Chain A
């Protein structure tokens, strides 16, 4: 049925792609695993060839799909798009209507492309793409067109360029960085009422005034908790930060994203990321539509800088901090 999908884009599988795929698969001891690796490799290469045509740069060799250890230990078909992130290129055989999406690829992806591989014809079809996945199977009927992938990647690039530059410019002058040590000291000395501008107490941010009890924070006397309302398009989210002084100069930071309205779920594809001073992702989490909150924990020493990003579709909210 997928053969005549209107939006599908038929592309060649070159001899070079076939050779590489075979080479990778020959490292695998079982036929099932060898098939998997061969198809993953073909899906990545066809997507790579297509993006090259579109003048979108890729870095094949830096993906897990190109790492022999990761080929053996995971089922990944990732393609690094420098400056954007990893695009997962999932292969399917002709005549199926669903695409398996292994759990190890659920996070840290800018999107999922589904490539139908016809090894007899040496031909592949880019069936379409989705920006995020919710579980281990993707219905092919949910796919958006290959053109939607192009728009998605463009929007990601736009969303990233502007704020990153703005942050860098502000960080260079020492402005725009929220100082967490000061934040913690002030709150502990002057009471919880002392609040850094732009931030609020949890009670002020949430409609109901309270987080659902199951996910309320564990709090100690040396803990400060602050929240901020973020708008990502039509979606309103609360970023909640929990700070705790750990050792002399260390601060433990717990970051959570909650829906503004209690008893609702975070939208599928919402991402929470922590980036270091070089803009490398330290840790991240993505909502699949099933969670009512996301949480990341980090710790750092005085003087360290980091950035928190919240992404949803093409929207990006970013906050820079110094510990």
Chain B
């Protein structure tokens, strides 16, 4: 057994001496993931990373009761699992491809331009940033243009929201333009503007659960 395998086995033993969610367990699992990841099977399939993530989930859940060190190294154990998942994804993809082909053929064998369809759908909806811009410019309650940084009546919520929209103007540029330190600007933005933006988002139906 290589030095690395001995080290990995020690970390696994140490991780399993502590309950799930404890920092000692988390730390040792992290160490194992860091080292083992370079020893795992790799391929370029689009679904490879999904199979790998499932492998890590499996590793963290089962290392303390599903792994028998006498049957092989951690990397061997995980590679076996990873390859099974890759095979599942491959079979899934083949099934989906064949059903897609038959669906396409139903329409007189003509290829449907999926991308065009998507673009049309999106075109109907007003982008969120435009809604925000219109809302901030209209400022129907007058609140956004009333709220300003103390001592700087020209630096209002309205100005900051419009200038920060799409991160167009940097905090540094705003700070230089108005002569207000960045922490004062950003703190005001965070306390006074962001809550109002969230509220506007809610009124538009974007609810953060």
Contacts A63-B208, A69-B200, A107-B187; is A14 near B49 (CB within 8 Å)? yes
In the docked arrangement, what's the CA distance between A56 and B186, Å?
Answer: 30
B30 touches which of A54, A71, A283 (Cβ 8 Å): A54
Per-position binary interface string of chain A over residues 148-184, scored 1 when its CB falls under 8 Å from any chain B CB and 0 otherwise: 0011001000000000000000000000000000000
In the docked arrangement, what's the CA distance between A279 and B206, Å?
Answer: 25
Give the number of chain A interface residues (Cβ < 8 Å).
57
B194 touches which of A10, A61, A70, A136 (Cβ 8 Å): A70
Within 8 A of B (CB), among A72-106: 72-75, 102-104, 106
Q: Nearest B residue to A154 by beta-carbon distance?
A: B23
Minimum C-beta distance from B20 to chain A (A): 5
Chain B CB within 8 A of A144 CB: no
- Is B30 touching A147 in the complex (CB atoms < 8 A)? yes
Chain B CB within 8 A of A318 CB: no
Q: Which residues of A contact B172 (CB under 8 A)?
A: 136
Contacts A9-B34, A106-B186; is A53 near B49 (CB within 8 Å)? no
- Is B209 touching A62 in the complex (CB atoms < 8 A)? yes
Chain B CB within 8 A of A67 CB: yes
B21 touches which of A36, A55, A102, A136 (Cβ 8 Å): A55
Per-position binary interface string of chain B over residues 184-209, scored 1 when its CB falls under 8 Å from any chain A CB and 0 otherwise: 01110111011001101100101011
Chain A CB within 8 A of B179 CB: no
Q: Nearest A residue to B203 by beta-carbon distance?
A: A69
Chain A CB within 8 A of B66 CB: no
- Is A285 touching B132 in the complex (CB atoms < 8 A)? no
- Is B34 touching A68 in the complex (CB atoms < 8 A)? no
- Is A103 touching B183 in the complex (CB atoms < 8 A)? yes
Binds A, one of B2-10, B100-108, B122-130: B122-130
A75 touches which of B38, B57, B167 (Cβ 8 Å): B167
Minimum C-beta distance from B152 to chain A (A): 16
- Is B128 touching A72 in the complex (CB atoms < 8 A)? yes
Q: Nearest A residue to B201 by beta-carbon distance?
A: A69
- Is A12 touching B128 in the complex (CB atoms < 8 A)? no
In the docked arrangement, what's the CA distance between A107 and B194, Å?
Answer: 13
In the docked arrangement, what's the CA distance between A108 and B195, Å?
Answer: 13
Chain A CB within 8 A of B97 CB: no
Q: Which residues of A contact B128 (CB under 8 A)?
A: 27, 68-69, 71-72
Q: Which residues of A contact B60 (CB under 8 A)?
A: 53-55
Q: Which residues of B contact A28 (CB under 8 A)?
A: 129, 166
Chain B CB within 8 A of A256 CB: no
Per-position binary interface string of chain B over residues 150-191, scored 1 when its CB falls under 8 Å from any chain A CB and 0 otherwise: 000000000001001111000110000000001101110111
Chain A CB within 8 A of B76 CB: no
B49 touches which of A12, A32, A71, A146 (Cβ 8 Å): A12
Within 8 A of B (CB), among A18-74: 26-30, 32-33, 36, 49, 52-56, 59, 61-64, 66-74
Chain B CB within 8 A of A13 CB: yes
Q: Nearest A residue to B205 by beta-carbon distance?
A: A68
Q: Which residues of A contact B132 (CB under 8 A)?
A: 69, 72-73
In the docked arrangement, what's the CA distance between A52 and B57, Å?
Answer: 8
- Is A102 touching B166 in the complex (CB atoms < 8 A)? no
- Is A49 touching B53 in the complex (CB atoms < 8 A)? yes
Chain B CB within 8 A of A203 CB: no
Chain A CB within 8 A of B81 CB: no
In the docked arrangement, what's the CA distance between A185 and B198, Å?
Answer: 40
Minimum C-beta distance from A50 to chain B (A): 8
25 pairs, A vs B, C-beta closer than 8 Å: A7-B34, A9-B30, A10-B34, A11-B33, A12-B49, A15-B46, A15-B49, A29-B127, A33-B166, A52-B57, A59-B209, A62-B209, A64-B194, A64-B208, A67-B208, A69-B132, A69-B197, A69-B201, A70-B201, A72-B165, A74-B194, A104-B171, A136-B171, A147-B27, A283-B191
Query: Nearest 4 pairs between A and B by C-beta?
Result: A103-B186, A69-B201, A12-B49, A72-B129
- Name B residues whose Cβ lies closer than 8 Å to a Cβ of A: 20-23, 26-27, 29-31, 33-34, 37-38, 46-50, 52-53, 56-57, 60, 122, 127-129, 132, 161, 164-167, 171-172, 182-183, 185-187, 189-191, 193-194, 197-198, 200-201, 204, 206, 208-209
- Name A residues whose Cβ lies closer than 8 Å to a Cβ of B: 7-16, 26-30, 32-33, 36, 49, 52-56, 59, 61-64, 66-75, 102-104, 106-108, 122-123, 136, 146-147, 150-151, 154, 283, 285, 288, 290
